[in-house]
Structure 1
Amino acid sequence: MEWDLVADIGGTNTRLARVHSGEILGTKTFPTKSDKTLVQLIHGFIEDQPTQPGRAVVAMAGPVRDGTVTLTNAQNPITGVFQSLAEDEVAQLTQSNRARIINDFEAAAWALATVQPQEVHGLQGDGVLKPGNRLIVGPGTGLGVGTLVKTAHGFQAVPGEGGHIGISPQSPEERQVFQAFGKIWPETMMRQPSARFEAEAMLSGTGLPRLYNAACDSIGQPCKIHDAEGVLAAAKLGLSNQARVTLEIFKRHLGQVIGDLAITNHASGGVFLAGGVATKNPWIFDDMFFETFNAGGRERFSQARSGLSVFLYQNDNFGLIGAANALAFGN
């Protein structure tokens, strides 16, 4: 059977699959933070197949530089080296010697080329999928951003690192938390000394427990929660005041960042929220989130934001779908 390899490699999981006649088959998932290199994981997957793949597209959670990606949020647990992969390493495992590595949210954007109504849940707007530019933002292990543009020649996915734009405190209380955050994760400060940080540093599963620690440190309170799931659960159930403060900061800034990106990219085809934090916790997209998402300053720009459709994208395979669509539609 002729087949192509697709992969979705994030900070937590590495997912590998075959594509045959447009269908994704035989998906296997491995931990990314493994003592095996990424090329070893891919080689092992291919060895279990009857033939080599014809071509390969690999989506990875990091910026692509000269055909290579070093993951932003995944290290080998033994060596401490950040996991990385190069196109030529993957190409050598294919029959055609053809492989592409793309940013994971370029793949996420490609997935929007074939998104179906049953895969999404409307959060704002009439819930109907419309033509036009589509923005996908994923608060998960990191904060991914991608855009799908419909041109006269077909679809084009536009990769970006929107998760690394800056955010700043919006109140005296937030300033105290941001200052405490600077002591916890100083390398994410955009300029030192400053209270401006990479958005991903706070608005992600990796950043949430650090943001909670900062909220606790800002008032001299001991930190009792040590992971994102715990912070989210405590905030939802009202078990911790500082978890509540953390989630309020998280929602306000996430809403502002996504709203800014949506208006910048003229996302008339909709804004799609993905990633583990989003899909497992849809309750965070409440009035507080949309208050800042729709805050556009002058009335016509607030109306432009509130007129955008927002969806929760609930297909966990979007990375693999996007890699397959990049094979089908990409250059």
Structure 2
Amino acid sequence: MATVLAADIGGTSSRFGQFTVGADGTLAMERTVRFPTAESGSFAALVERLAEEGIDTGAADAAVFAVPGAVRRGVYVSMPNVSWDIDLDALDGPFFKRTLMLINDFKAQALATRTPAVADAMPVKDGLAVEGGVVAVIGAGTGLGHAAVALDAPGRVAAIPAEMGHVAFSFYGEAEEAFHAFLRTRLGVPYAYGDVVVSGPGLSLIHEYLVGESLEPAGVAEQGNPQVLEWFSRFYGRAARHYALAVVAQGGVFVAGGVAAKNPALVDNDVFRNEFIISPTYGDLLATIPIWLNCNEESGLWGAAYMAAQRLDLVS
């Protein structure tokens, strides 16, 4: 039996979970705690709060923290929407030097698909998942996250994060190109990218363009303007299609992230499904790919814990 510590650190809140890993690789969540990220002035201060909750970091056999942004060497990340960076090389102590590893938050979401975290995922689109096929995860929240998980020789699970939320988004037709022009002017950017289109802020921008009113994402969803929701669903289906094709996700696609978790109707509709399968060359392949919506807010913890168990060679 091993003990692992997992975390999912975000701009608003940070979740921590203590897990045990059985000799057969079975993960069991023992307890969780959650803190507002902004209440801590540094990463070290955030970790120190664990002791206040009776969590001994020194007792962890391995620890993996999921963080937003591109992780470098498993020890450094500059996170969007957080006022401090994380640099394990600059911190003293065996926990930071030997026990802890950082991974991208959507890498954790991808690994979570190998755990009980997705047991209750809601089917959004029918299909037939290919056993051993690549599984894609995409999620709109503050930005647009992507990752994929695949079997690597000799049967070990490998998760690959992507920063496709920063790739130029595709717009089709005069109406969408006019919206693209609005975004370039409104945001002062040379081109619009996934993070500003398929995200909570993107939902607000679509509403502002079509309705002429500035609202927070929750307010847009509550108001429920049919045209706004249709545009967002179409863009979300397009983003999911692009990533499914990029990684040939024959194992299926999981939609994660707070936007759809709070508003499942944004992806559980025919606009999203029909947009997903549009392709001059691979429409038949896309039609076979199943899609699920994962609303489990603790799935990032499960994915990070799975990675920690991998480090201990307790899971594949």
TM-score range, shorter chain: 0.7 to 0.9
Q: By how many angstroms is 1:93 displaced? A: 6.0
Q: Which runs of 5 or more structure 2 residues have no equivalent in the other structure?
A: 22-26
- For 1:126 and 1:112, the matched residues in 2 are separated by 17
**1:20 is aligned with what amino acid?**
T
Instruction: Determine which structure has greater relative contact order: mean sequence separation of CA pairs < 8 Å that are 6+ residues apart, divided by chain length.
Output: 2
Structure 1, residues 276-301: CA drift from partner, whole Å, max 9, x if none?
Answer: 11112111121111111100113xx1
> 1:1-331 to 2 correspondence within 5 Å?
3-21=3-21, 22-34=27-39, 36-49=41-54, 51=56, 52-54=58-60, 55-66=62-73, 67-72=75-80, 74-75=81-82, 82-88=83-89, 92=93, 94=95, 97-115=98-116, 118-125=119-126, 130-153=131-154, 154-186=156-188, 189=189, 192=190, 196-216=191-211, 221=212, 223=213, 225-235=214-224, 238=225, 244-285=226-267, 286-298=269-281, 301-330=282-311
- For 1:90 and 1:111, the matched residues in 2 are separated by 28
Do the aligned residues in 2 keep the contact of 1:43 with 1:93 (CA within 8 Å)?
no
**1:144 is aligned with what amino acid?**
G
How many corresponding residue pairs?
A: 302
Provide the TM-score with structure 2 as the length reference.
0.86
**Aligned to 2:178, what secondary structure does the other structure show?**
helix
Do the aligned residues in 1 keep the contact of 2:118 with 2:299 (CA within 8 Å)?
no
**Aligned to 1:258, what secondary structure does the other structure show?**
helix
**Aligned to 2:95, what secondary structure does the other structure show?**
coil
Do the aligned residues in 1 keep the contact of 2:88 with 2:97 (CA within 8 Å)?
no
Q: By how many angstroms is 1:99 displaced? A: 1.4
The alpha-carbon distance between structure 1 residues 313 and 170, as it changes in their structure 2 partners (threshold 3 A), is same
**Aligned to 1:206, what secondary structure does the other structure show?**
helix
Query: Identity across aligned pairs (percent)?
Result: 27
Q: Which runs of 5 or more structure 1 residues have no equivalent in the other structure?
A: 76-81, 239-243
**Aligned to 1:157, what secondary structure does the other structure show?**
strand
**Aligned to 1:64, what secondary structure does the other structure show?**
coil
- For 1:91 and 1:125, the matched residues in 2 are separated by 50
